[in-house]
Structure 1
């Protein structure tokens, strides 16, 4: 039996103490492969302004982070509605999400590190906003056409009492161009055929004798013609309703029927075209928005690390992928290793006040910098 996989990724940073490599290797030694996968999360150096500016941008990044996550998930939801299996569509720079995160490199061409962090964050936000608005517009157009197609398709489904019957009738079934006579189409329940044949001529006056013929049948109904004088059509319809015979509203018009078939074909072709376009656009834009989201996470790690550990920046950032149901164990290891950063350990290094510490602060606050993303929602 294959082991279940975790779809959670953590981004952490701890003081580098002048040697990021040593700190990274020490972290890997404390978190062996049966607990987690650990990779360095490389972040470039950024321009650092005042402490007040860092606090401001920290608050802004929280809002951007929430928006970017929502934008990513909207694209995922679109893909889910278009395809049963979307794993092959969740690609970032020609890599799977997992590969992209483990080998993350800051895109220096798109997001130049010499710009201020405020400028970089705004560029990221503008890109995600542009893509998000485009996706909303494309989705709206597709849903409108899809709704039109579904409405037309509903007319082609159901039993003979409700479905479109234009494809079942022929010109010879009708009395055409008569000043006095008309032909009606009536859906008769299959268990009422005998009643129909014995009653239809006498339901009202002025019904043409022996004018009824069955032209179609499904599991529930038969579709019969009947010819009568136009002036008794309303009375005949009323009497049919009393007998549970369903008179269909239908006028034989070849031009109108041809237009209906053309409309159905055109709407179907448009829906298919928009479907393929939306699928392609969603796949491409997932990678763009997800990449922007992880760049933003990198900014958050950098800003929070400077606020936590001070200047000059000297920290090691890593990406941790916990093994299935190992989050609690990993957290315990990290607390033992880095709890002193937040004063959470006893003098002997034990965890005697960890619980008290967590009762006093936000449950998402730890003595080391920590953020996460979760992907279990990406799976059906």
Structure 2
């Protein structure tokens, strides 16, 4: 999805200039009018400064658009939705990117043309910055809750050294309501079962003999009970870790399993709600940010055209959508048609071997992006995501 925006002097007839470009490129591209209103211009010195600022804003806006597209792509995974179909623009988010660009109209309701160019640029920048901040906060909140949900899910599905033991350890496995005794739950690696059975009674004093029972087993661990006196719990746990046994922090609670399930269901519901809200916001704000980006491109074309062609503004601007593999041919055609606009610069592009060019002239055309007419690119590749 690559577009080129250019402007050339209209010589008092914008329609004729547009048709001339369209006719030259009809075999190689789709050509559309780029409708740019006339703005309050101010001084040329101010325009030069604004031109530099617009370059920076262009980069920032492009980064914002790409971040939102990447976020949307991530959120759509597993939903059988085509990213291209979700990347919509305009006020009601109903137009595809292609439709919006090819029929672009300046939004005079949001960006009034009686404001200065600097004010309009500031409005665009503030809008994109506000969207960035909102999306950053929403994404952080969603990520926190998603991580919390994943932690709960891991406790349901991990091995016996980490998973939640509610529902695995039963009432009959524990010594309850004793003043002196308590039951510890220990995860023992399968390779250490024999070592556990030989050592647990002598790890510390005050371990009840033959009190260890294996109550569960998975591919990596077995879950054993052991009854000890309460006063030796800390010492026993320390000695057990030295032997590579893993004491689990567990206290039997009849209601814990229901509480755990309720927490998981609530966290899942919250994650689904926040994902749906984040998806809606991302789609909306992608459209808003892309529209702002295209308005900024139009501003760049206007400002650069005034600086390049002078006052009063008299230029025709168009949007070019190249057909596959014709970008070079389009460039050659435009340079051949409008190379004269750049004087020595345009001639240098057409024939870089001209001996009569002065050194400083050659240096000024060494920038391969220079064209004798105003030109900017918009390159948005959703397929790489």
With over 3 angstroms needed to count, the CA separation of the structure-2 counterparts of 1:181 and 1:40, relative to structure 1, is same
Listed one character per residue, the Cα deviations across residues 326-363 of structure 1 (whole Å, up to 9, x for unaligned) are: 4333222221111111124559x953458986752433
Q: Which among 31, 39, 58 is matched to residue 25 of structure 2?
A: 31
Q: TM-score, normalised by structure 1?
A: 0.86
Residue 185 of structure 1: aligned partner: 185
User: Does the 8 Å CA contact 1:346/1:353 hold for their aligned counterparts?
Assistant: no
Greater mean alpha carbon deviation, residues 193-202 or residues 16-25:
193-202
Q: Which among 360, 367, 376 is matched to residue 364 of structure 2?
A: 360
3-state SS of 1:370 partner = strand
In structure 2, what is the Cα distance between the partners aligned to 1:239 and 1:126?
61
Listed one character per residue, the Cα deviations across residues 1-52 of structure 1 (whole Å, up to 9, x for unaligned) are: xxxxxx221111111223333322322333244x333222121222333323
Is 1:86 matched with 2:61? no
With over 3 angstroms needed to count, the CA separation of the structure-2 counterparts of 1:239 and 1:66, relative to structure 1, is closer
Once the two structures are TM-superposed, the CA of residue 100 in structure 1 deviates from its matched residue by 1.1
Correspondences of 1:16-95 after superposition (within 5 Å) = 16-33=10-27, 35-84=28-77, 86-93=83-90, 94-95=94-95
In structure 1, what is the Cα distance between the partners aligned to 2:225 and 2:30?
74
With over 3 angstroms needed to count, the CA separation of the structure-2 counterparts of 1:153 and 1:359, relative to structure 1, is farther
Listed one character per residue, the Cα deviations across residues 112-168 of structure 1 (whole Å, up to 9, x for unaligned) are: 323332332233223223222222222222222223333333433431112222242
Greater mean alpha carbon deviation, residues 245-254 or residues 7-16:
245-254
With over 3 angstroms needed to count, the CA separation of the structure-2 counterparts of 1:129 and 1:233, relative to structure 1, is closer
The CA RMSD over aligned residues, in Å, is 2.9
With over 3 angstroms needed to count, the CA separation of the structure-2 counterparts of 1:108 and 1:194, relative to structure 1, is same
Is 1:159 matched with 2:159? yes
Once the two structures are TM-superposed, the CA of residue 102 in structure 1 deviates from its matched residue by 1.1
In structure 2, what is the Cα distance between the partners aligned to 1:243 and 1:68?
58
Is 1:370 matched with 2:375? yes
Listed one character per residue, the Cα deviations across residues 69-117 of structure 1 (whole Å, up to 9, x for unaligned) are: 2322332232233233532321102111122111111122222323332
In structure 2, what is the Cα distance between the partners aligned to 1:81 and 1:249?
36
In structure 2, what is the Cα distance between the partners aligned to 1:354 and 1:124?
44
3-state SS of 1:311 partner = coil
Gaps of 5+ in 2: none
User: Does the 8 Å CA contact 1:20/1:315 hold for their aligned counterparts?
Assistant: yes
Listed one character per residue, the Cα deviations across residues 259-300 of structure 1 (whole Å, up to 9, x for unaligned) are: 554444333322222211111001001111111111111111
User: Does the 8 Å CA contact 2:65/2:290 hold for their aligned counterparts?
Assistant: yes
